[in-house]
Amino acid sequence: MSGDSATSVLAGLEQVRGWQEDFYRNLHQHPELSRQETETAATVASRMRECGFDLHEHVGGTGVVAVLRNGAGPTVLLRADMDALPVREQTGLPYASEATASDGSGNQVPVMHACGHDVHVTCLLGAAALLARAKDRWTGTVIALFQPAEELGDGAARMVDDGIAELVGKVDVALAQHVLPFPSGLVATRPGPVLSAADSMRITVYGRGAHGSMPQASVDPAVLAAMIVVRLQTVISREVAPTDPAVLTVGSIQAGSKSNVIGDHAVIELNVRSYNDQTRGHILDAVRRIVTAECQASQSPKDPDIELFDRFPPTHNDPGTTASVRAAFDDYFGDRATTLPLQTASEDFSDIPNALEVPYSYWGIGGIDPDTYAAAAKAGRISQDIPVNHSPNFAPVIQPTLDTGTQALVTAALAWLAPD
C-alpha cells in the first residue's frame, strides 16, 4: 500500500511546485549564517502553520519543530538544515546571493547557500504540504524539523539540549537527505557508515625566540612545527589499516612574523575524518603522542596546548531502516534509485536520533544538470567541471532537484505511515 499511497500523495506535486520554485529562489537569494536563521525560520514557521502543523519555534536558537498528528500510527521525523556559509557566490544566476552579514567574530562576510540547505528546506516544506493535504492516505504523526547551525556542528545538539525529546514525544524513525554533486533526478542510499566523523584540532607548540642570525640561542618553533607535520603523515599510512578509510589534513601552520626573527610559538590546525569510534580515538591519540614527543625532542620549554573544536559525529545508517527506505525508493523511482558511495563529508544530524534513541537513515539526492554531468564524465573532468558543496559555484539545478527531494521525503515517510 505504501507505493499506492506515495503515488496518491505525490499527485498533488504539480500544485506545490510553483510556490516551491519561487520559495527556493528567494531563499537562495537571502541566505543566513549559522545561528542567524531568523527570517528563514519565521518564513518556515508561517508555511507550516498554514499547513495545519503545531509549531514549536526558537528551539535550540532558531530551530523550528512542526508536528502534524493524523491518528494512531508511527511517528516519523523529517529533518532539514537551514544555515548558509560565509562564501561569495560566483554562479552568475539571476537569483544569486549578494548578501553579507557579521560573523561570530564580528567580521563582515559574504553569505551564500553553498551547501544546498536551501534545497533541503524547500523540499521538506513541499513534502509537509503534500502530506498535510492528503491525510486520508496515511496515519500517524509527521514531525518536520528545521535545524539551525549544521555548519558549526552544534545545531542538532543545541536542539537536543533545548528539550526536543519532550516536545516531540516518542519517535519511531528519523530521516534526512542532502543534495550532492551527482546527476539531478537520482536518489542514493547506503546502509551502515555513510558520512565520516570530523574533528578539528588546534595545536600550539612553544619555543624560545631569538634573532635569526643566532639560532643556537633559540628553540625554533617553526622547525618543531615542520617536524610534527611531517611525522603526522605517518598516522594514516602506518597506523590505520588500508581497509579502514580515514583522512588527516594539516590545513594551517602559523609561526613567526618576520624573516630574521625566530618566534616563540607556532600554531598548527588540522582536521581528522574517520568512520568509527575506535579509529577516531586512535588517530586523535596518535596526534597527541607525536606532538608531545616532538616537543620533548626539540626541548620545548613548555608543554603543547591541544584543543579540539568543530566536532561532528559519524553518520551510521541503521541497516533495517535504510533497507525500508531503499525498497520504497526502488518502488517509486525505479532505476533512478541507486547506492550512495561512502562520503568523507560530515554532518550533525545523527545527534538528534541518537538522543531520541531511534533508528535513522540519511540519503543523497543529485543536484547537477544530467547533461552537464554526463559531458564532464565523458571528458574525464568531473573533478574539474562539476562544482561541489561549499564551492562558490555550487548551485543545484531547480528541477528535477526539488521534485526529486520532495518525492524522496514523501516516499520514505510513507514507508512507515501508509496503512498496510
> Residue 4: what pLDDT?
84
Same domain for 90 and 156, yes or no, is: yes
Global pTM reads: 0.93
- Domain's final residue, options 312, 328, 359: 312
Residue 235: CATH number of its domain = 3.30.70.360
Give yes or no: residues 259 and 189 share one domain: no
415/324 Cα distance (integer angstroms)? 7
Residue 419: the pLDDT is 79
**Which residue is it, cell 558543496?**
389
Which grid coordinates are listed for 329? 525508493
**Low-confidence residues of the chain, pLDDT below 70?**
1-2
Residues 219 and 112 in one domain: no
Cα angle 62, 364, 346 (rounded to 5 degrees) comes to 60
Give the CATH number of the domain where residue 61 resides. 3.40.630.10
Residue numbers of the domain that contains 221? 197-312
What pLDDT, on the 0 to 100 scale, is given for residue 3?
73
Predicted pLDDT at 173: 98
- Asked if the bond preceding 400 is cis, omega within 30° of 0, the reply is yes
Considering 312, 346, 364, which residue would you say is the last residue of a domain? 312
Beta bridge mates, 123: none
Please name the residues in contact with 136: beta carbons below 8 A apart, sequence gap of 6 or more.
none
Specify the pLDDT at position 2.
Answer: 67
Strand duo 140-147 + 63-70: pairing: antiparallel
Residue that is last in its domain, among 312, 332, 356: 312
Q: What is the C-alpha separation between 273 and 195, in angstroms, rounded? A: 9
Instruction: Please tell me the total count of domains within the chain.
Output: 2
> What is the rounded end-to-end Cα distance, in angstroms, of the chain?
6
Rg of the chain, C-alpha, whole Å: 24
Rounded Cα–Cα distance for residues 407 and 186 (Å): 11
Same domain assignment for residues 162 and 215: no
Question: What gap in Å lies between CA 57 and CA 35, rounded to an integer?
Answer: 14
Claim to verify: residue 243 and residue 142 sit in the same structural domain: no
Residues 255 and 138 in one domain: no
Model confidence over 166-190: pLDDT tens digits? 999 999 999 999 999 999 999 999 9
Ramachandran class of 257: left when φ > 0, alpha when ψ lies in -120 to 50, beta otherwise: alpha
Cα 340 from Cα 81, distance rounded (Å): 20
One domain for residues 205 and 330? no
pLDDT attached to residue 104: 87
Residue 126 and residue 239 in one domain: no
pLDDT recorded at residue 1: 54
Q: Do both 255 and 339 map to the same domain?
A: no
213 close to 265: Cβ distance less than 8 angstroms: no
pLDDT digit string, tens, across residues 88-134:
999 999 999 999 999 988 999 999 999 999 999 999 999 999 999 99
396 and 379 fall within a common domain: yes
- One domain for residues 185 and 221: no
Type of residue numbered 100: T
Question: Measuring CA to CA, how many Å separate 322 from each of 40, 177, 190, 326, 402?
Answer: 30, 12, 7, 6, 22
Is the domain of 270 the same as that of 171? no
